[in-house]
Amino acid sequence: MELLTRYLAAVDRISEGIGKAISWLCLAMILVLIYEVAARYLFNSPTAWAHESTTMLYGTFCILAGAYTHRLHGHVRSEVIYNLFPTRGKAVLDLLTGSIGLLVFGVFFWITFNYAWDSWLMREVSSKSTWAPPVYPFKAMLPLAIALMMLQSLVHVLRNVAVIFDLQSLPPQFYSAEATKETSDA
């Protein structure tokens, strides 16, 4: 059980770390856009790369933020119906949706992995501008983001199983990353 608890905490830490790290992409996007606006309106010299680079950065930010958002239970849920259920009922709903999600993510992973792999093999570049930046590293973020979502979904599924079967013998770290963080900081 100790190994499983450490797995849950590790996935939570990975999701948290990536979520915080990619937040810096927002700053990069802002700086690129400030540069573009200054170049265009102050010096009458627009860039060929700013729009496309911010699009790639924003796409990377959005897809990699998924696991972090899932860790915080930040994705859309119909709270009106969900809150009608007791704790175990909520865990059953979360278990069902999490299990379905894992299956869907598995299909998405397979599709995006092949998509990214083909792009990587041909060293694909963008055809949308004269700048022609490589797009294969950004396409590789798709299966990575889905793999992270699958790991975080599995964490939620395991925690919901523990709630459903009332496994009170498990340590508090099993149930939440916050408890894990508090005990590791102590």
Pairwise pLDDT comparison (92 vs 76), residue with the higher score: 92
Identify the CA nearest to 14 among candidates 160, 151, 180.
151
Residue 133 sits at φ, ψ, to 5 deg, of -75, 155
pLDDT tens readout for residues 128-143: 878 888 999 999 999 9
Q: Read off the pLDDT band of 74 (50, 70, 90).
A: confident
Check whether 38 has a pLDDT greater than 60.
yes
Tell me how far CA of residue 141 lies from CA of 8, 51, 150, 156, in angstroms. 23, 19, 14, 22
Q: Read off the pLDDT band of 87 (50, 70, 90).
A: confident
pTM: 0.80
Tell me how far CA of residue 41 lies from CA of 31, 37, 38, 89, in angstroms. 15, 6, 5, 57
Which tokens is 59 given?
A: 């796409």
Identify the CA nearest to 25 among candidates 138, 120, 125.
138
Pairwise pLDDT comparison (174 vs 155), residue with the higher score: 155
pLDDT tens readout for residues 96-135: 999 999 999 999 999 999 999 999 999 999 888 788 889 9
Q: What is the percent of the chain with per-residue pLDDT over 90, rounded to a whole number?
A: 50
Mean pLDDT over 66-84 rounds to 86
Count of C-beta atoms within a 10 Å radius of residue 147: 15
Pairwise pLDDT comparison (90 vs 102), residue with the higher score: 102
